[in-house]
């Protein structure tokens, strides 16, 4: 049996939703005391364990799997329930699993209403799911397009575009601020 670590889904801790898994589920928040956090982190990689934690409580947390059953079954599985706004955050969350040569995997489960800030519409996702793919712009200068065949590629492209836009805006802001001083 594997262990599952879910990031940012407070709604899943609802007693009705988790009724059958309540005994094997722990919930970690930023309000969790340091002592309790250490205990819960050790429990998080136990076989058949489900751990829910908020984005902020998971930052910098290393889930080290010492459970042979979990290791034999390909390690911990991390489920991210939001799109990262910054690249380092995406890399850090993926790094919560498969640490120090251990096995592990990750996936995303996303609510479509949370994708709007990335300019992602349901229609684009439905086209990909139906096998039609969509064309995404690679370069404004060259006007090249590339067909996106997977939802992951589509989401990744949109996030990368947003990261680039934010970086360019931040660079312009810093340049402007330097000119004022």
pLDDT for residue 137: 42
Instruction: Give 85-143 pLDDT, tens digit per residue.
Output: 777 777 777 777 666 677 888 888 777 777 777 777 777 777 767 766 555 543 344 44
**Threshold 0.85, pTM exceeds:** no
Bridge partners of 137, per DSSP, are 145
Mean pLDDT value across the chain: 75
> Using one digit for the tens of pLDDT, what is the confidence trace for 147-177?
566 777 777 777 788 888 888 999 999 999 9
Q: Which CATH class is domain 1-109?
A: alpha beta
Burial of residue 153, with CB atoms counted within 10 A of its CB: 0-12 exposed, 13-18 middle, 19 or more buried: middle
- In contact, 84 and 72? CB cutoff 8 Å: no
Give the per-residue pLDDT at 32: 84
Give me the residue spans of the domains in the chain: 1-109, 113-172
Cα 45 from chain centre: 18
Q: Provide the 10 A C-beta neighbour count for residue 13.
A: 16
- Residue pLDDT, tens place only, 24-80: 778 787 788 889 988 888 888 888 888 888 777 666 777 778 888 988 888 888 888
Sign of dihedral through CA atoms 44, 46, 47, 48? Answer: negative
């Amino acid at each position: 049996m594997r262990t599952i670590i879910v990031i940012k889904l407070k709604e899943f801790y609802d007693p009705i939703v988790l009724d059958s898994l309540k005994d094997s589920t722990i919930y970690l928040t930023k309000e969790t005391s340091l002592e309790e956090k250490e205990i819960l982190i050790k429990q998080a990689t136990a076989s058949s364990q489900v751990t829910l934690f908020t984005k902020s409580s998971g930052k910098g947390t290393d889930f080290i799997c010492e459970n042979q059953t979990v290791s034999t079954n390909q390690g911990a599985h991390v489920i991210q329930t939001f799109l990262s706004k910054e690249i380092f955050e995406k890399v850090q969350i993926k790094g919560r699993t498969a640490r120090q040569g251990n096995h592990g995997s990750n996936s995303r489960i996303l609510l479509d209403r949370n994708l709007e800030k990335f300019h992602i519409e349901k229609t684009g996702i439905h086209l990909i799911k139906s096998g039609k793919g969509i064309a995404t712009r690679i370069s404004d200068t060259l006007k090249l397009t590339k067909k996106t065949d997977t939802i992951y590629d589509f989401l990744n492209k949109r996030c990368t575009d947003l990261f680039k836009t934010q970086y360019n805006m931040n660079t312009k802001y810093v340049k402007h601020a330097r000119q004022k001083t």
